[in-house]
Every structure is written in C-alpha cells, then in structure tokens.
Structure 1
Amino acid sequence: MVSHRNKRISRTILTGAVLATAVAPTMAASAQPADPDPLARYNELSAHAAKTNEDLLKARGDLKAKREQLARSTVAEQQAREEEERFRGQVDALTTATFEGARFNQLSALLVSESQQDFLNRMSALNMLATDNNEALQRLGLAVAKADHARQSAQEAANAAAKLVGEVEQRQRDLDGQIKEVRAALGSLDPSVRNDLKRVKDTGSYVGPPGSANAALQAALSKRGAAYEWGAEGPSAFDCSGLTMWAYQQAGIQLPRVASAQYDVGMAVPLNALLPGDLLFYDDGTGNPAAIHHVAMYVGDDKMVDAPTQGQVVDLRPSRGDGHLMGARRIAG
C-alpha cells in the first residue's frame, strides 16, 4: 500500500511541475510587455500637447474678446444711463409745466384772450406742451430700455469672462503637465536622434505664385532653423499656427491665431491641386475641424514648411505629416 501511495504522490508532483513549467513562460511574458518605440511615444505626446496648446490659445483669444466686449458694454451702459437721466429731467420739467398749465384750460384761454389770434396762440401752446410731454415720456422709456439692455450685456460679458479665466488656467495646467511629458520623452531619445531632430535638412529654394502667397512662403522659409516654442509667434521662435500667422503678416494678411480658426479663412483646396503658400491642416483622424492640432504651409514637391514640436526646428518635411492631413486652404492667389 505504501508503494502505491508513493507512486500516486510522485505522479501528482510530476504533474504539478509540468503545469508550472508550462504556465511560467506565459506569466513572465505578460509581466514584461515590450517597451514602446521612444520616438513614437515622443511624437504621440507632442501631438496631444499641440492640441492642448491650440485649445489654450483659443481660450485666451475668447477671454480677450469677452473682456473687450465687457469694456464696450460698460461704456454703453454708462452712456445709456446718462441719456436716461437727461430725458428724465426733461420729463420732470414738462410734467411740472403740464401741471401748472392744466389750470389754464380752454375756457380760461378764451376768457383772457384779447383776440381770436391770441386765443389760437394760447391753445397752440397748450397742445404743444402736451405733445412735448408725450414725446419726452417715449424717449425716456426707450432710454430706460437701452440702459437695461446695456447693463444685461455687461453682466453677461462679465460672467463669461470669469468663466473663461478658469478655463484658461485649467488648460495652462494641462499644457504644463503635457510639456513635461514631452520633454521627458525627448530626453529619453538617443542623443544622435535628438541632434538629428534639431538639424535643418532642406535648404533648397521654393517659389510660389506671384503675390501674397509667395511673400508668405518666402517669409516662412526664411525661418528655417528657428526653435519651436509653445505659444510663440516669432520672430525668433514659433509654434505651428504662430509661424503661419507670422508668415502671412509679412505679406500683409492677418490670420487668426489658432490653427482651427485659420481653417475657416480663404477657400478650400483639393489635396491634388495644392500650390505653394496653401495651408495644410492636420487632425486626429476624425475629420473634425475642432480636432485640428497642427497647421503647415505647402512649398511644393509634396513638402511643407512648419514648426513641428518641442525639440525640433522650423524646416521642410513631407506634406503627408502624421498621416492625418484633413484639408487645405488657399489664403491668397
């Protein structure tokens, strides 16, 4: 019996060992996932930070517009209140005059008038007083309504501005955190890769159609080698929409500050009919203009000039970008 029992124990131990040997490699494999490509991780984080940067710039622009609206509404309210007080004074004066004139009725005018013409003159004065009083009351009513509307507009602008302040602060915190991640990912790259990212690779000449488009193109090309900086508008550092805005400023054309707003300027261009100076827009693959996170300028030969992200410089790159080229706009020409 002991012999049979020992055999059963031996078989149990052997079976457990075989199972453990079979399971162990699987557990080890799942516990040690392959590290992602550092360059791909850097590019992914950069795209997310670029979108957050664009959102922050838009929020700042909205806040500036609301503060300007608040200032205008405050001035309008003050002017409306002054107008209201002026008409109120006229109404008070006319009301007093009407009260005094009420005792001087048609019979009184007839009795004291020295002639028919004198009677008509006195009656005309009474009618004019009544008419002036009615008109003054109407003007006062309009002035009060205008002042109330201006006050409401000012309050709405103040509330919107207060809300946007919080939004700007939150987006700034989001961007600061993402910039740290991008810089950490950049630092994890091999030094040779980092140096290559900062090197201008295309110094060739490119010419666009005569006029503003070519002027903007040459302005952008002149900034090859300029550093990327979040929120920068030049002239020594740029972010993506800062570069395109600055370039077209040199051509006498003012573009909005944010890439998604620049997408609304000019005319849409088929991707098979691009000309140098056209702007190229990139999103997250959804085709939604609200998801635009990058803008560049087409230079020809399937190339673009852009300010890409932290750790890189303004230079020429393939116009396909990250593969999410969603559309193009012709600003001039």
Structure 2
Amino acid sequence: MGSHRRLAPTSGFNQGAGAALCVLSAAAAALGGVPANAAPHEDTRAEVDRLYTEAEKATEAYNKADESAGRLRRQVGDAQDRIARQQERINTMRDKLGSLAGAQYRSGGIDPALALLFSDNPADYLDKASVLDRITAHDAGELQDLQSAMRDLAQERAEAVGKLAELEKSRKAVAIHKKAVERKLAKARRLLNSLPYAERAAYARASRAGGIPDLGSALPSSARAAAAIAAARSALGRPYVWGANGPSGFDCSGLMQWAYGRAGMQLPRTSEEQRYAGRQVPLSEARPGDLVTYHSDASHVAMYMGNGQVIHAPYPGAPVRYDPVDMMPVSSVTRV
C-alpha cells in the first residue's frame, strides 16, 4: 500500500464486481511520523500494509460467506418445518382413508345384486348403496389428494437435501476465509513486532490519530441519513474487529450496516453490495450520510460526514475515526 497522500477521486464509477473488502485507509499515515533514518524498514511497513489489506479482503469474503450460510440455515429450517407439517397432513389423510376403506369392506362385502335379492328391506339397502357410492367417490378424491401431498413432500425433501449440501459448502467457505484472515493478521503482527520500538510507536500513534474535524454546515440528505450519522458518531473510538458489525466493534462494512440499522434501514453486509444500496451521485455532490466506496472493486467503505471528511473503521489496530474523503481513490458515492 502506498503512502497516504491525497489522491484525486476517480472520474465515474467502476461497476465491476469483486470481493468486497475494507482497505487500510490510514495505515501508511504512520510513515509521516517515522524518522528519516528509518528508510531500511520501508519494505517491512509496506508489507504490513499489504497484509492488512489482504486480510480485509478475506474479511469481506468471510462476511459474504457467513451471510450466505445464515440465509441457508434459515431456508433449511423453514423446509424442515414444511416437511413436518406435510408429513402430519399425510398421516391424517392415511388414517381417514383407512377408516373409509374399512367401512366399505364391512358394508359391501357381497355382490350388490344378491344383497338386493335377499334383503328384508330393499329400499333400505338401496339407501345404503347410494351412501356407499358417495363414500367411494369421496374416497377417490381423498386418495388423489394423498398422492399429490406425497409428491409435494418428496419434492420438499429433495430441495431440503440440496439446501443442506449448499449449507455444508458455505460452512467450509466460511472456515477457509476465517483461516486466511487469521493467517495474514498473524503475519502482519510478527512483522510489526520486528520493527524498532520507535517505528512501532509511530505506527501505533498513526493508528490512534484522528480528532473531531470541522465538518462544515452541509445537511444530511434525509432524516434517515441524519440518524445514521448520529449512530456512526457514537461509535467513534470503538475498535476494529474483523467480521463484526457492532455494537462493541466493527469492520468497515459492519459499521455502515450497524449505523443505518440504527436508523431503521437494513443495508447489505458487504461493501461491494453496499455500493449499490441506493442512488449513486458524484463526489462533488456528496452529502452527510452518503456511503463512499474506494477502488474499483469497492475495497473500502466509509460514511461521508461533510467538509471533505468521512467516518470509518480503518483496519485492525485502528479505532473508528474521521479521515479525509480523498484518503484513497474514490470509486462511488451512494445516497441511501
């Protein structure tokens, strides 16, 4: 990752879909606080930044896989409930058909012509026969209903089996992404620990930096945006936690989802999806509460706060804070 210089926003918005990720918005700011004689360790710091960036890619991939697994778990649960209800219905229909079949056998066990011939009361026999005919017709309809219900049950079971297979694959994907995050973060920590104390301290100071800037007088685009801004401000100083969406810790997309959730709107989980959660506007027209994504693959997401400032969850070790909107190339601005 390069230095934290102000880069001009990209003109136009790249619509390519990529794995949504949070990028270290201010990690390289530490370089400004490092003594000039620290040049031999530039490569180490650059590698730490790169690992944090890759860890955030894996974090957003983890978020996406975890969301998919959750959705599949709910679908499997719903399917199992439907199967149980359908099975109960089939059992009831079978019991009813069994009773009807028994009644017909007991009442109609001889040839109808002989039964009429030997009957003491032919009129009574004919009445009974008429009832049995109606029962038989009703029985046929019940049997068709039972057959249809059993076909539906078989289809439900087949679909449930498919969902369970998808769920298992999704669980494995979650585990893979989780391991990737942990591996990259562990390597980044080892590299940081290899730096001289003064450089580690400078990096830590840069990670904690960020007071409350002048946000100007621009108004939010809506009452909902105003509520989301208030929620995001209340999260200032809370730690970055990968895969978290509050309230005690956040990753970048988790902070946006939590803030707008407090405003009564459910945003998608990943920054890639959040890019398309509303109407895109030019950066020059950004208003407080708008979502700002960075790089062509929606590599990071923040909330515009006014006067060229955003609030965001930067990267591991850096708490929720303000930073300039042009800290990285802007990909899109979305008005939710």
Q: TM-score range by the shorter chain?
A: 0.7 to 0.9
Counterpart pick for 1:307 among 309, 313, 328: 313
Of 200, 213, 224 in structure 1, the residue corresponding to residue 225 of structure 2 is 213
Measure, in 2, the Cα distance between the counterparts of 1:171 and 1:155: 25
In structure 2, the residue matched to 1:328 is: 333
- Secondary structure of 2:285 counterpart: coil
Query: What is the aligned partner in structure 2 of residue 273 from structure 1?
Result: 285
Q: How does 1:150-161 map to 2 (within 5 A)?
A: 150-161=156-167
DSSP-derived class of the 1:248 partner: helix
1:191 maps to which residue?
201
Deviations 1:15-42 (A, max 9, x none): xxxxxxxxxxxxxxxxxxx875444433
Distance 1:282 1:104, change over 3 A: farther
* Structure 1 residue 292: Cα displacement: 3.3
> In the aligned structure 2, how far is the partner of 1:55 from the partner of 1:210?
31
1:135 shift after superposition: 0.8
> 1:128: Cα distance to partner?
0.7
How far is the alpha carbon of 1:297 from its aligned partner?
0.6
Q: CA deviation at 1:195?
A: 0.7
Partner residue in 1 for 2:266? 254
Decide whether the 8 Å contact of 1:231 with 1:238 is kept in 2. yes
Compared with structure 1, are the counterparts of its residues 113 and 163 closer, same or farther at alpha carbon in structure 2 (3 Å cutoff)?
A: farther
Q: Which consecutive residues of structure 1, in runs of 5 or more, have no partner in the other structure? A: 1-33, 286-290
Match of 1:41 among 44, 47, 71: 47
Q: Describe the SS at the equivalent of 1:238.
A: coil
Distance 2:279 2:68 in 1: 24
1:177 positional shift: 0.5
* Cα deviation, residue 107, structure 1: 7.2
The alpha carbon displacement at 1:94 in A equals: 2.6
SS in 2 for 1:197: helix
Q: 1:182 is matched with which residue? A: 188
Deviations 1:204-230 (A, max 9, x none): 345523411011112212333322221
The alpha-carbon distance between structure 1 residues 129 and 51, as it changes in their structure 2 partners (threshold 3 A), is same
Select 2:214's aligned residue among 184, 204, 207.
204
Corresponding residue for residue 112 of structure 2 = 105
Question: Are the equivalent residues in 1 in contact too, given 2:214–2:307 (CA < 8 A)?
Answer: no
Q: Any unmatched runs of 5+ in structure 2?
A: 1-39
Mean Cα deviation higher: 56-65 or 257-266: 257-266
Alignment-derived partner of residue 82 in structure 1? 88
Letter in 2 for 1:195: R
Contact 1:279 1:329 in 2 (8 A): yes
Question: Which residue number in structure 1 is paired with residue 67 of structure 2?
Answer: 61
TM-score relative to the length of structure 1: 0.76
Give identity over the alignment, percent: 28
Give structure 1 regions of 4+ aligned residues with deviation exceeding 4 angstroms: 34-39, 106-116
RMSD of aligned Cα (Å): 2.7
**TM-score (ref. length: structure 2):** 0.76
Which residue identity is paired with 1:307? Answer: A
Measured in 2, the distance between the counterparts of 1:115 and 1:161 equals 66
CA distance in 1, matches of 2:327, 2:138: 72
Supply the distance in 2 between the matched residues of 1:120 and 1:266 (Cα, whole angstroms): 74
Tell which structure's C-alpha radius of gyration is larger. Answer: 1
CA distance, structure 2, for counterparts of residue 95 and residue 115 of structure 1 = 24
